[in-house]
């Protein structure tokens, strides 16, 4: 789906605006980004309840990429694949459009309007699935609030500029990388810094799973992230930056069993 609106980003929010411009499938200029929409009201969601016969103890949140909406996860079979895989989880697809990134409110809105509300309803675990720019938002939330997240699944994530990703890759991966600009406000640097520190801490580590197509323009990002992850948490397939590729990767990920082990299995 394509949305258009003229945006004039301030320098403070340029990192997120450029991210959306870089990975938008329908647009190649800042003047052709998805609309921002209101970002001060509660974030809109599409809920898919009761994949099992009773209330699940696990909630899976799905964050779309630039130009996509929460309905795309259902339309491309992601919800149905969870059912086929017998994952005992309910699902909320989140309408985290570009305005939340431009105004840097995506983390607070998802935390306040979704995660903490669902925790109060009794969900014990929260997994987040993020595609493309949604992967960047997912990781920013996880890096800044790791205690709120029990696991992450990323599909072809955008995690910063090519220059930043190359610097992490040149170091041998996030586990060996040191930020040479510690005063930078770039949210993507904060993500890689968290990834670097998590390997040097005795605290419990939020599991991160990543999958990508070998012809995807985001493949270098995923490959760089994979350098600091166990092989069992990475998956490479064929194809580019498309839903049909992500759907196949999602099927492969759900067949690995980590969501079933974390959330339980529908009898």
CATH of the domain at 152: 3.40.50.1820
Q: Is there a domain that residue 30 lies in?
A: no
Q: Is there a domain that residue 51 lies in?
A: yes
Average pLDDT over residues 139-143: 93
Average pLDDT over residues 2-24: 42
Average pLDDT over residues 156-181: 92
Q: Is there a domain that residue 28 lies in?
A: no
pLDDT(223) > 50: yes
Q: Is there a domain that residue 253 lies in?
A: yes
Cβ pair 132, 241 in contact under 8 A: yes
The per-residue pLDDT for 25 is 40
Domain that holds residue 225: 39-263
Q: Six-digit token pair at 57?
A: 């103890």
Give the confidence band of 225 by pLDDT, cuts at 50, 70, 90. Answer: very high
The per-residue pLDDT for 9 is 43
Average pLDDT over residues 111-115: 90
pLDDT, tens digit, 9 for 90 and up, residues 41-81: 677 778 876 565 567 889 999 998 888 888 999 999 999 99
Q: Is there a domain that residue 238 lies in?
A: yes
Q: Is there a domain that residue 12 lies in?
A: no
Give the bridge partners for 47, in sequence order: 92
In the chain, helix, strand, coil percent, each to 5? 40, 15, 40
44-58, 168-182, 252-266: which has the minimum mean pLDDT?
A: 44-58
pLDDT(13) > 50: no
Secondary structure tally for the chain: helices H, strands E: 12, 7
Distance set, CA 228 to CA 173, 199, 209, 231 (Å)? 6, 8, 11, 9
Total domains, the chain: 1
pLDDT(135) > 50: yes
Q: Is there a domain that residue 6 lies in?
A: no
Q: Is there a domain that residue 33 lies in?
A: no
């Amino acid at each position: 789906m394509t949305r258009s609106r003229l945006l004039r980003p301030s320098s403070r929010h340029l990192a997120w605006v450029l991210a959306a411009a870089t990975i938008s499938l329908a647009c190649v200029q800042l003047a052709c980004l998805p609309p921002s929409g209101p970002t001060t009201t509660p974030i809109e969601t599409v809920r898919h309840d009761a994949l099992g016969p009773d209330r699940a103890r696990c909630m899976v949140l799905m964050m779309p990429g630039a130009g996509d909406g929460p309905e795309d996860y259902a339309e491309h079979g992601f919800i149905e694949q969870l059912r086929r895989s017998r994952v005992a989880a309910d699902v909320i697809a989140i309408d985290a459009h570009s305005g939340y990134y431009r105004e840097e409110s995506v983390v607070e809105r998802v935390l306040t309007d979704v995660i903490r509300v669902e925790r109060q309803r009794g969900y014990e675990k929260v997994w987040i699935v993020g595609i493309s720019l949604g992967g960047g938002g997912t990781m920013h939330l996880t890096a800044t609030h790791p205690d709120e997240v029990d696991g992450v699944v990323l599909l072809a994530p955008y995690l910063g500029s090519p220059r930043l990703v190359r610097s992490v890759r040149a170091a041998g991966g996030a586990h060996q990388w040191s930020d040479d600009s510690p005063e930078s406000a770039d949210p993507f640097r904060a993500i890689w810094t968290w990834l670097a520190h998590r390997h040097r801490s005795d605290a419990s580590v939020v599991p991160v799973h990543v999958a990508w197509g070998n012809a995807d323009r985001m493949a270098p990002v995923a490959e760089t992230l994979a350098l600091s992850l166990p092989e069992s948490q990475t998956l490479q397939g064929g194809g580019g930056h498309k839903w049909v590729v992500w759907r196949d990767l999602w099927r492969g990920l759900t067949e690995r069993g980590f969501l079933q082990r974390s959330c339980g299995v529908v009898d």
